[in-house]
Amino acid sequence: MEANLEALECHFTWKLNPIKFRDELEDLITNRTSSWMGHIYNLLGFVYYQLNSMDEALRRFNQAKDAFCLLRNNAKGPWLVVNYGNLAWLYHKLGDEAEAQRYLSKIDALTSEHPPPEVYAEKAWNLMKYGKTQKLLAMYYFNKAIKMQPDKVEWQTSRVVNLVNISKDLREVISADLWEEIREAKERDPASMYLAAYDLIRRAKTGEDIKDEARKLARMIFDKPLTKYSGIEPLQSLFKDHLSIDDLIKVAEEALERYPDARFNKRCTANFYKTKIFHTDDNSPEVINRSISLHLEVIRLYPESSWKKQIYLASIYVKTNQQDKAKQKYEELLQKAADQDHEGKQMLYNYYALNLYFNQKEREKSTKCHMEAARIPHKSFYRDRSIKALEKIQNQNKHPMREEVTRFLAELPTLD
């Protein structure tokens, strides 16, 4: 039994650690028309298994099975291989070997010697949610799936989205070749709002007047409750760089009136206000209060995944000259830092260091915070930013910590 289970292609053998995605996945299932709905339920079931919630895991795996059958309009097919593998593993973990064997037999009936393209596509979809290495591996599996079944538009769209995310992870400017891939993908998949937003960015960069189309796209996106697949990230970039973030805030607030319980809408709207406060200086007390109230609401709605939002809230207090509240919030976060992952700690130390330097004028304490961020052995934007700050100190002859920082940087290990 163990050998047969270990040979399966499913979440239990892919060595995933997706617990942190629970809130994201719960938000995604509000859009029940997504072509990836079965994949979402499968991953969500595995998350609940990792949280030792076996009944909920079984419920989500069964929802995945139903979603695949509904979207495919077919009760059986290779798209169920990963789901059946998950169910075989779960029943084995529950001690029901007969039911586990039943699902193993179902898999044998669906597959030949090699996995079908649907398995490669689902594996790619899961891998693209992780870091750069996993995203590169996702490209391999997307290419493999598409080569075997080139007519699946959603696979090609997700492959291009993954390419964009790799470019962002590497902090590279999107190349001309990738812009062309985005354009071609948008033509293949005109229903993708994500690709539509990126294509408008492409056209805006060439000098086209896309303002009317951008406003129309925003209203289409906000016409129903948002998910991460709605194209919010490129839409926000489009409005921030080529229109006005105020225009996007107006559309978002109107949508919140229609969908007052849509928590992801609130999360996105809070991001828009944060962008306005951080990038403009004409913020009224109403804007500041609305931003703070939204962040507090989002923190309440996402108790297990609101770490970044809490750091942003502290930064908003700083930006809006509420230094006592900022100090109190940072002290609260520093007490919780031990429970966060590497990047979460690095983000906190980096933001706190900037606040100490620019607002509290505590240069030595700021430097020590940058060192805390840098010594954590995890490559991230925040670690790189702290290292750059320390390198500047290293070049300042009169800085009181110059020699200590120089020794620290010399001993700092280089991360791949």
Q: Are 125 and 141 a contacting pair, CB within 8 Å?
A: no
Q: Are 298 and 270 a contacting pair, CB within 8 Å?
A: yes
pLDDT for 235 beyond 90? yes
Counting Cβ atoms within 10 Å, is residue 176 exposed (0-12), middle (13-18) or buried (19+)? exposed
Instruction: Report H helices in 376-416.
Output: 381-394, 402-411
Q: Quick one: pLDDT band at residue 19, thresholds 50, 70, 90?
A: low
Q: Are 67 and 38 a contacting pair, CB within 8 Å?
A: yes
What is d(CA 255, CA 220) in angstroms, rounded to the nearest whole number?
Answer: 11
206 φ/ψ angles, rounded to the nearest 5 degrees? -90, 0
pLDDT at 204: 96
What is d(CA 79, CA 102) in angstroms, rounded to the nearest whole number?
Answer: 17
What is d(CA 159, CA 391) in angstroms, rounded to the nearest whole number?
Answer: 38
100 φ/ψ angles, rounded to the nearest 5 degrees? -60, -45
pLDDT at 75: 66
pLDDT at 158: 96
pLDDT for 73 beyond 80? no
- What tens digit of pLDDT does each residue of 315-359 get? 999 999 999 999 999 999 999 999 999 999 999 999 999 999 998
Average pLDDT, the chain: 93
Instruction: Report H helices in 302-375.
Output: 307-319, 323-336, 342-358, 363-375
- What tens digit of pLDDT does each residue of 137-167 get? 999 999 999 999 999 999 999 999 999 999 9
Of 382, 334, 330, give the one whose Cα is nearest residue 356. 330
pLDDT for 112 beyond 80? no
Can you read off the two tokens belonging to residue 143? 């290419």
Place of tokens 């991360």: 415
Place of tokens 């070049």: 395
- What tens digit of pLDDT does each residue of 359-369 get? 889 999 999 99
Place of tokens 């805006």: 204
* pLDDT above 90 as % of the chain: 82
pLDDT at 298: 97
**Whole-model pTM over 0.85:** yes
Of 402, 406, 401, 374, give the one whose Cα is nearest residue 387. 374
What is d(CA 315, CA 224) in angstroms, rounded to the nearest whole number?
Answer: 31
What is d(CA 252, CA 235) in angstroms, rounded to the nearest whole number?
Answer: 12
Instruction: Report H helices in 111-209.
Output: 117-127, 132-148, 153-169, 176-188, 193-205
Nearest 5°: the CA angle 17, 30, 233 is 70
**Sign of the alpha-carbon torsion through 382, 388, 394, 398:** negative
Q: Are 153 and 189 a contacting pair, CB within 8 Å?
A: yes
Q: Quick one: pLDDT band at residue 16, thresholds 50, 70, 90?
A: confident
What is d(CA 416, CA 405) in angstroms, rounded to the nearest whole number?
Answer: 22
What is d(CA 149, CA 151) in angstroms, rounded to the nearest whole number?
Answer: 6
Q: What are the boundaries of each domain within the chain?
A: 173-280, 333-416
pLDDT for 33 beyond 70? no
pLDDT for 56 beyond 90? yes
- What tens digit of pLDDT does each residue of 301-325 get? 999 899 999 999 999 999 999 999 9
What is d(CA 59, CA 43) in angstroms, rounded to the nearest whole number?
Answer: 12
pLDDT for 32 beyond 70? no
- For 160-167, the CB contacts below 8 A with 24+ separation are 160/185, 160/195, 161/128, 161/194, 161/195, 162/124, 162/128, 162/135, 162/138, 163/139, 164/198, 165/128, 165/135, 166/132, 166/135, 166/136, 166/139
Q: Hey, what amino acid is at 383?
A: R
Q: Are 245 and 252 a contacting pair, CB within 8 Å?
A: no
Residues in the chain, overall count? 416
Place of tokens 């079908």: 116
Place of tokens 């990230």: 233
